[in-house]
Amino acid sequence: MTTAITPLKTSFLPSSTAASKQLTSPSTLRGTRRRCGNGVRIQAKIREIFMPALSSTMTEGKVVSWVKSEGDKLSKGESVVVVESDKADMDVETFYDGYLAAIMVDEGGVAPVGSAIALLAESEDEISLAKSKAIDSGSSSDPVESQSQPQATIPEPEAPKVTLVMDSASVSVVSMHPAATAERVVASPYAKKLAKDLKVELRSVVGSGPMGRIVAKDVESAAVNGAPSPAPVANSNVRVSVDAGIELGSTVPFTTMQAAVSRNMVESLAVPTFRVGYTIITDALDQLYKKIKSKGVTMTALLAKATALALVQHPVVNSSCRDGKSFTYNSSINIAVAVSIDGGLITPVLQDADKVDIYSLSRKWKELVDKARAKQLQPNEYNTGTFTLSNLGMFGVDRFDAILPPGTGAIMGVGASQPTVVASKDKRIGIKNQMQVNVTADHRIIYGSDLAVFLQTLAKIIEDPKDLTF
């Protein structure tokens, strides 16, 4: 996959023709004069390959891998290096024919946007000249030197083997949720359903979720490999062997994605926000979901569609303020949905969610999630959201407040739908499935009454969801 690049004096280009034209400026050349046998002096073209800007928030990039090796011949449009931005891994192409003469930032190294990471020679004869230039740059006070400093190439620590010696026989340690009892197994709703479908006995499954809670992947693993039989921990002296992915007491630097999330969270503190909560009855939505789930429809797509339809009627909640002096009524309704992935958090965007049918929206969501987990999202697939959803309901969380992403007007936290005893308007007692949603909004542009009427509209759509399938 290739990506669009901000032209920063780089020899790389995206596949976009418009962007390519911007990268052909002679200012990208670094000329070195040499004398040929006939006495004519010509200019050797040795180009510096720069770290590209893969997104508007990217300040530095990590070289994941070099697709080409030193000395390899390159053709225009060929992938040369895989770069990790703050949100994704992307193949980057070269705009010029030539030879990869010298790699200045090794795999795993981090370089600021716009700094040189390699040299590209026009001909094979100029490779040695380029190598000399790279060595000179590395031995001088040139900023290139900073690209290969040890702190930029810290390898990820291997999962350590932790052994606790306590004198006796070896036993396994089973994580147990504090609320679990002999009669009760603590598992997510989806894990329970999955266990029923796959005929897995939950009491024999070891949970890997928070505080030992059984989650879907535990059930899937048990179905494939067979559930391990938990052995009790002896009360006397024992020898315990535990495989751990975390070395306790260690200090670990942020990944590129974690650093980006940290910057965004700090930036969000400058925005004055407020929060409004609302309880919505989900019986009708749950029934609709059961009816169309077999067609590939997801609950995430249904919630995104309902939210988008409500935003159509309340455009101010879909607006954004970036400069503190004005705000924009966004022309599109793009629903960003928070997804937890290995090493961080990303918000794939369902663009024009109000206009796309629920079946296409669900297919698009599955595609975006797959790309997000493979770190292959394009910038326009994660940075164009106008309203954000964060759903922790699948973990049993009943309510929470989300932090507003910079550049947007509002984010909605969605809790679990739970059976609740309620009184109807005619004073009858009954049980309804209820879901709590909490919206965090930018108070510079959105006021309490704006959120109140928006949530009323959203509740009407969810409680009578016939419009979601049109």
Q: Is the pLDDT of residue 296 over 80?
A: yes
189, 416 in Cβ contact below 8 A?
Answer: yes
Q: Are residues 227 and 282 in the same domain?
A: no
Q: Which domain holds residue 96?
A: 12-152
Q: Are residues 403 and 432 in the same domain?
A: yes
Q: Are residues 308 and 374 in the same domain?
A: yes
Q: Are residues 298 and 436 in the same domain?
A: yes
Catalytic residue among 443, 444, 463, 469: 443
Instruction: Give the number of domains in the chain.
Output: 3
Q: For residue 4, is it within any domain?
A: no
Question: Where among 179, 212, 243 does a domain terminate?
Answer: 243
pTM of the model: 0.58
Which of 57-66, 238-247, 289-298 shows the highest mean pLDDT? 289-298
Question: Where among 101, 135, 152 does a domain terminate?
Answer: 152
Q: Are residues 232 and 183 in the same domain?
A: yes
Q: Are residues 313 and 444 in the same domain?
A: yes
Q: Are residues 277 and 304 in the same domain?
A: yes
Distance of alpha carbon 73 from alpha carbon 135, whole angstroms:
21
Q: Are residues 103 and 172 in the same domain?
A: no
Stretch among 121-125, 140-144, 191-195, 388-392 having the lowest mean pLDDT: 140-144
Provide the CB-side half-sphere exposure for 412 (13 A, CA): 29
For 79-111, write each residue's pLDDT tens digit: 888 887 666 777 788 878 888 888 888 888 888
Question: What's the CATH number where 100 sits?
Answer: 2.40.50.100
Averaged pLDDT, 158-174: 37
Query: How high is the pLDDT of residue 70?
Result: 84
What is each CA distance from 112 to 16, 140, 147, 225, in whole angstroms?
Answer: 23, 18, 8, 45
Q: Which two three-digit tokens encode residue 424? A: 């109807």
Q: Are residues 79 and 125 in the same domain?
A: yes
Q: Is 177 annotated as catalytic?
A: no
Please name the residues in contact with 229: beta carbons below 8 A apart, sequence gap of 6 or more: 204
